[in-house]
Amino acid sequence: MSRVRPTLALLAVMGALALTACGAPADSGSSTPSSSAATSSPPEPRTVRVVTHDSFALSEDLVTAFEQSSGITVEFIPAGDAGEMVNRAVLASGNPEADVLFGVDTTLLSRAIDADVFDPYVASPDALREELRDAGLGVVTPVDDGDVCVNIDDGWFAEQGIAPPSTLEDLADERYRGLLVVQNPATSSPGLAFLLATIARYGDAWPDYWERLRANDVRVVNGWSEAYLTEFTAGGGGGDKPLVVSYSTSPPAEIVYAEEPKPERPSTSVMLDGCYRQVEFAGVLRGTPDPDAARAVVDWLVSTEVQADVPLSMFVFPARDFVALPEVFERFVTRPQAPLELDAAEIAAQRDQWIEQWTQVVLR
């Protein structure tokens, strides 16, 4: 899930917490009190590096509390969009730059597994929502999920006196020429999810659909941040595209991050047709020098405290069962009743070919 998202401050957690020292055994070669009281040096502090996509965020007090209770210092390493992050992890497979990877999702998981990126570990499977318990294929742990959807700047359409689109088919209509910005599926997780949505909808005819989008002047950028924060008319960057591939949870972010007095409703909405369901995972990276500490961090990511924090930190849904959602989610997020999905094995077998074919159709 490259998920998901508003302008969020990435956490930089600094410093190390030493573990309490234990007394060393007495020197058997001496009976003097001074030698029998000898002690060992404190153990080395433990640090777990977590590589993340750029939309990752958690409340800083949660990180501090975990560090204090576990003796593990957590360092977060932002690595771009989820697609860029996974590309880096694949290149470093077995010799990772970090210990844990957060943010690989269902569109990219098979690539990471095929490249042997992870040391298999699933935390607290019985505590997860039932439909997510097997989503990580016994290799990684589901942490959250969400839906990639086209977001609409309702204010722009109202000012122009144009009815907004309601279906994937509408996006290729002349009425919406030059209004849509999408992400490149080769470099972006939501971009790949949107491509998969069109494949799930149109089957073998999906290249024809993208030909029509290209003819309708769709704009392609590399990642979510550029698409939403720069190109989207409601993203705050002075963009000129009132339609953007983003997430079903993007509109409530507008309320949460608005200055007082906050608006009663978001000025953006979601096109519920053509949404693609994504699950985001955390995994222990193969080659980490401290797998036990890495597993402890993954356990923490699905703890009740962290799971209650992810909706308003990353604007996603918690993977853990029985976690209450914030009021702004209850009021302003509508989950698509029939999100589009493809089988993981089919994605693994076809993903590279689909991306190459998309590139030929759209960027040629």
Residue 331, both tokens: 């009021």
Is 135 among the domain residues?
yes
Is 112 among the domain residues?
yes
Is 6 among the domain residues?
no
pLDDT at 29: 38
pLDDT at 32: 38
Is 8 among the domain residues?
no
Domain co-membership, 167 together with 245: yes
Domain of residue 291 covers: 42-145+278-332
Domain co-membership, 212 together with 316: no
pLDDT at 54: 85
At 112, the amino acid letter reads A
Q: At what angle do helices 189-202 and 206-215 cross, to 10 degrees?
A: 120
Residue 64's SS3 state is helix
Task: State the residue for tokens 């985001």.
Answer: 280
Domain co-membership, 349 together with 227: yes
Is 51 among the domain residues?
yes
Q: List the end-to-end C-alpha distance of the chain, in Å, as a whole number.
A: 28
Domain co-membership, 114 together with 102: yes
Q: Per-10-residue mean pLDDT for the chain, 364 residues long? A: 38 29 35 42 79 92 97 95 89 97 92 96 97 95 97 97 98 98 92 97 98 98 94 95 96 90 93 96 98 98 97 96 95 92 90 96 94
Domain co-membership, 324 together with 348: no
pLDDT at 41: 53
Domain co-membership, 225 together with 288: no
Total domain count, the chain: 2
**102, 301 contact by CB (below 8 A):** yes
Domain co-membership, 121 together with 209: no
Separation between Cα atoms, residue 60 and residue 67, nearest integer Å: 11
Domain co-membership, 297 together with 184: no
Domain co-membership, 171 together with 151: yes
Q: According to the 3-state scheme, what is the secondary structure of 262-294? A: CCCCCCEEEEEEEEEEEEEEEEEECCCCCHHHH
Is 10 among the domain residues?
no
Which CATH number belongs to the domain containing residue 140 in this structure? 3.40.190.10
pLDDT at 254: 87
Domain co-membership, 107 together with 209: no
Domain co-membership, 248 together with 344: yes
Is 3 among the domain residues?
no
Separation between Cα atoms, residue 142 and residue 140, nearest integer Å: 7
